[in-house]
Amino acid sequence: MSTTTIALVTGGNRGIGRSIVEALAADGRDIILTYNSHEDEAKEVIDAVAARGRVAEAIQLDTTRPAAFPGFADAVRQALRARWDRESFDILVNNAGFALHTPLGATDEETLDQLFAVHVKGVFLLTQALATAPEGTAPLLADGGRIINSSTGLARFVTPPYAAYGAVKGAVEVLTRYWAVELGGRGISVNTIAPGPVNTDFDGGYLRDENLQQIFSGLTAQGRVAHANDIGPAVAALVREGTNWITGQRIEASGGFRL
């Protein structure tokens, strides 16, 4: 049986998710990553992990479809047994998500439902499927494990038109505190990472605009906007040995945005 630490990262095929996967692999973790689409990107990430001497498996998952979660849990269990001779993994990173504009007076119900589905309902039910189990069976997330939930600086600093996105991420931060208590008896720590402005393809890659970069850089203590590789190492640091006593916390990785 492998004693390697195994992390499961949702949305690990691009952007911040890929940065998290690669940072964890650089720290000696093996990886199960999910992707909704772009299987080719997931295969590239597997190769990047292999180049670091670690092992990765990619499993397709749409986190807005809770009906798929039992089948996904079975696929994770099968991968653990086949690749690692294990019945559990150690780190869950709820990273998958997207942003939509929601200006007051011009936002429809479907938009709100989409944001809630992926960032609250999906996160809650997927974590439930992986971190708990019926009495007499063992959960997939091991005792002593870690959960990192993805939030956003927009839950702290107001930047229209992201009200609903900031609100659902605020809900994630509340869930983090509750789960830290509910799972604490098993030695599982639960924390939130909250990035500030990051130059990725998130929300259509809006931060690739040089004028916006200049504006946001002027609002950041470190004088620039982030890149995805600023966030992955922060997540990896939160799950290193000796940090389990940190739990129920919101860690903002924003370079000091709007301090």
- Indicate whether 54 belongs to any domain: yes
Mean pLDDT, to the nearest integer, of 230-246? 98
Tell whether 34 is covered by a domain: yes
- Mean local confidence (pLDDT), 222-237: 97
Question: What pLDDT is attached to residue 37?
Answer: 94
Q: What is the pLDDT of residue 2?
A: 78
CA distance 195 to 208: 16
Q: Is residue 1 part of a domain?
A: no
CATH number of the domain to which 85 belongs: 3.40.50.720
- Asked if residue 238 lies in contact with residue 245, where contact means CB atoms within 8 angstroms, the answer is no
103-127 pLDDT tens trace: 999 999 999 999 999 999 999 999 9
pLDDT for 176-223, tens place per residue? 999 999 999 999 999 999 999 999 887 677 788 889 899 999 999 999
**What is the residue range of 204's domain?**
6-252
Q: What confidence tens digit (pLDDT) does each residue in 40-88 have?
A: 999 999 999 999 999 999 999 999 999 999 999 999 999 999 999 999 9
Q: Does some domain include residue 241?
A: yes
Number of domains in the chain: 1
The better pLDDT of the pair 20, 210 is held by 20
Q: Please give the Cα distance from 78 to 84 (Å, whole number).
A: 10
Q: Is the dihedral of CA 191, 192, 195, 201 positive or negative?
A: positive
259 part of a folded domain: no
257 in any annotated domain: no
